Chains A and B, each alone.
Chain A
Amino acid sequence: GQNIDQPTEMTATEGAIVQINCTYQTSGFNGLFWYQQHAGEAPTFLSYNVLDGLEEKGRFSSFLSRSKGYSYLLLKELQMKDSASYLCAVTGGYQKVTFGTGTKLQVIP
């Protein structure tokens, strides 16, 4: 089965940098997704990591270590609109994508 762990809530200041961690234990691993979900809205795709290392996409970066079962999402130059839940999700073998419970990020002025 799949088990995904991420903090429930985080608070950060506008303009700062925040790192959201995700650890996972899976039977088989293909890759790890990060999705953003604003309250009352559907998740939107942010990143997908297959190989170890850091992938940068504008203000957002995602890191993966397959040997440690660990990933993080790094958000730079935080903006108020970044207040949302951030979902870590893992795929393995031919199985479905399994989502974590999400980290609710609050950006304060």
Chain B
Amino acid sequence: DTGVSQDPRHKITKRGQNVTFRCDPISEHNRLYWYRQTLGQGPEFLTYFQNEAQLEKSRLLSDRFSAERPKGSFSTLEIQRTEQGDSAMYLCASSFQPGRASTDTQYFGPGTRLTVL
């Protein structure tokens, strides 16, 4: 399977714990996006990378959230000191776009569903 993969698919944690999610994009895709989606809402942008550079980060993203893409391939999203409001589906998407324009088609992974107790 050459699609976007995410790990784990489900994560249950207690409030205050740290969690880390991994995303493996489609190979040769240089862009990687992280979104958060809650029930009945569309995906909400969190951050994106072009290769290893993090080009944009949502103003809604607190400093408890951090993302990395050290070698321009897979990415990790870490949430520190989780809160119940962090419970959501975390989606990763990848695309290929040689420039800086935002006209790329994004292919989504299956998501990681986080439940904070």
Contacts and interface: CB of A to CB of B under 8 A. Distances in A.
Interface of A: 4, 30-31, 33, 41-45, 48, 50, 87, 89, 91-102
Given A89-B42, A99-B42, A42 B100 contact: no
Contact of A30 (B35, B42, B101): B101
A102 B27 CA distance: 29
B74 interface: no
Interface of B: 33, 35, 40-45, 48, 56, 58, 91, 100-103, 105-111
Given A30-B102, A92-B102, A96-B102, A87 B42 contact: yes
Nearest to A33: B105
Contacts of A96: 33, 45, 48, 56, 58, 102
3 interchain residue pairs of minimum CB distance: A99-B42, A42-B108, A91-B102
Query: Which label, helix, strand, loop or mixed, suits the secondary structure of the A interface?
Result: loop
Contacts of A92: 102
A41 B106 contact: no
A95 B106 contact: no
Nearest to B57: A96
A26 B87 CA distance: 29
A91 B99 CA distance: 14
A26 to B, nearest CB: 11
15 contacts: A30-B102, A33-B105, A42-B111, A43-B43, A48-B105, A50-B103, A89-B42, A91-B102, A93-B102, A94-B102, A96-B45, A99-B42, A99-B44, A100-B42, A102-B42
Contact of B91 (A4, A42, A91, A94): A42
B102 A95 contact: yes
A92 B56 CA distance: 14
A101 B102 contact: no
